[in-house]
Amino acid sequence: MRPLLLLLLLSFVAIPLNAQQEQSCRNSPKVVDQCFKIHGRVRIGNGIGMTIWRVGTDRVLAVGDVDIIIPDNLSDGVFKKGDIYGRDVFGDFDVCPFTKRKDGEMQWVCVESASHLVIRERKQ
pLDDT of 70 reads 86
pLDDT of 67 reads 64
The distance between the two most distant Cα atoms of the chain, rounded to a whole number of Å, is 64
Digits of tens for pLDDT over the chain (124 positions)? 444 333 333 343 333 333 444 578 899 899 999 999 999 999 998 888 899 999 999 999 999 876 667 899 998 888 877 778 888 999 999 999 999 999 999 999 999 999 999 999 877 6
Q: Where are the domains of the chain?
A: 2-121
Alpha carbon distance 65, 119 (integer Å)? 22
pLDDT of 124 reads 62
Q: By CB neighbour count within 10 A (0-12 exposed, 13-18 middle, 19+ buried), where does 13 fall?
A: exposed
pLDDT of 2 reads 45
CATH class, 2-121 region: mainly beta
